[in-house]
A and B are shown apart, each in its own frame.
Chain A
Amino acid sequence: MNSKIKTNDVILQTITKVVFFIIVIFSIYLFFAGHYTPGGGFVGGLMTSSAIVLLLLAYDVKTVVGILPVNYIHMAAAGLLIAVLTGVGSFFFGVPFLSHTFGHVHLPLLGDTELATAVLFDLGVYLVVIGVTLTIIQTIGETE
């Protein structure tokens, strides 16, 4: 319409480049903290999707799809598949569906670490939450 006046969001875009990674690191922290402290797959997924929403606000749908070429419907499906497979995996050990277990493993850098199979179920929740939230927001954003 008016090509002389073009909005320039340089402050918002520069802030977004820094804050995006802080939010993503916070969401990964929330995801892994869910076993002993507040957090978990749901809040972690919501925080990751809010980081991507911030990218969508500062740039546009076309740019963000270029940066993150992810089909979010496939991501939600993959999360559901992971969550179901962790339940099915308990059949191989002759225990009821969704029986989870944990064990202590000596990792090279972290030392004695407790690894639980519930993390894999939480990973499924995380992927489903990101997939569903961003499918909703992207579908609304793309409509003219």
Chain B
Amino acid sequence: MLDLVLRISLLIIAVSTILYLYRLIKGPSVPDRVIALDAIGINLIGITAIISVMLRTNAFLEVILLLGILTFIGTVAFAKFLEKGEIIENDRNRHR
């Protein structure tokens, strides 16, 4: 019973990831693609959690936190690139 529920939820997350993939490929503007990529990362966290329940192991729990951190940093880097044109500034208080 639990296995069936896990398989169904995995299928739902997979379908949602495919829909995000459509937005990632087709997205008219770059921010659409960045947000789709961020949401795909969150879906990957869910897939990892469900698979770690299905395999009856807790070896993937670090992966979940790690994916969350990496998705956050990647999205922040993309957002800063879109806003300022450079990701790591040398001195942000200098007037150009």
- Chain A residues at the B interface, C-beta cutoff of 8 Å: 1, 3, 7, 12, 19, 23, 26, 30, 33, 37-39, 43, 47, 50, 53-54, 56-63, 137-138, 140-142, 144
What residues of chain A lie closer than 8 Å to B96, measured between beta carbons? Answer: 1
Residues of B bordering A, CB below 8 Å = 59-60, 62-63, 65-66, 69-70, 72-73, 76-77, 80, 83-84, 87-93, 95-96
Contact present for B88 and A140 (CB under 8 Å):
yes
Chain A interface mostly: helix
Q: How far is the CB of A142 from chain B (nearest CB, A)?
A: 6
Ordered nearest first, which 10 A-B pairs have the shortest CB separation? Answer: A141-B88, A60-B89, A60-B92, A62-B91, A56-B88, A61-B90, A57-B76, A38-B62, A54-B73, A1-B96
Whether A144 lies near B90 (C-beta < 8 A) is yes
- On whether the beta carbons of A141 and B90 are closer than 8 Å, the reply is yes
Asked if A47 and B87 sit within 8 Å, CB to CB, the answer is: no
Q: How far is the CB of B23 from chain A (nearest CB, A)?
A: 24
Which residue of chain A has its CB nearest to the CB of B59?
A38
User: Which residues of B lie under 8 Å from residue A19 when comparing CB positions?
Assistant: 72
Residue of B with least CB distance to A144: B90
Tell whether, in the assembled complex, residue B59 and residue A37 are in contact, meaning their CB atoms are under 8 Å apart.
yes
Contacts A57-B87, A141-B88 aside, 14 further interface pairs with beta carbons under 8 A come to: A1-B95, A12-B76, A23-B69, A26-B69, A37-B59, A38-B59, A43-B62, A43-B66, A47-B69, A53-B73, A60-B88, A62-B91, A138-B88, A142-B90
A53 partner residues in chain B, CB cutoff 8 A? 73
Residues of B within 8 A of A1 (CB): 95-96
Residues A60 and B91 in contact, CB atoms below 8 Å apart? yes
* Known A-B contacts A7-B83, A30-B62; A60 and B90 likewise in contact (beta carbons under 8 Å): yes
**Inter-subunit contact B92/A59 (CB<8 Å):** yes
Residues of chain A contacted by B95 (CB below 8 angstroms): 1, 3
List of B residues within 8 angstroms of A33 by Cβ: 62
* CB closest residue in chain B, given A62: B91
Given contacts A1-B96, A54-B73, is CB(A26)–CB(B89) below 8 Å? no
Q: Please pick, from B73, B92, B93, the residue contacting A50 in the complex, using a CB distance under 8 A.
A: B73
Determine the distance from Cα of A30 to Cα of B66 in the docked complex, in whole angstroms. Answer: 10
Complex CA gap A140/B89 in Å reads: 10
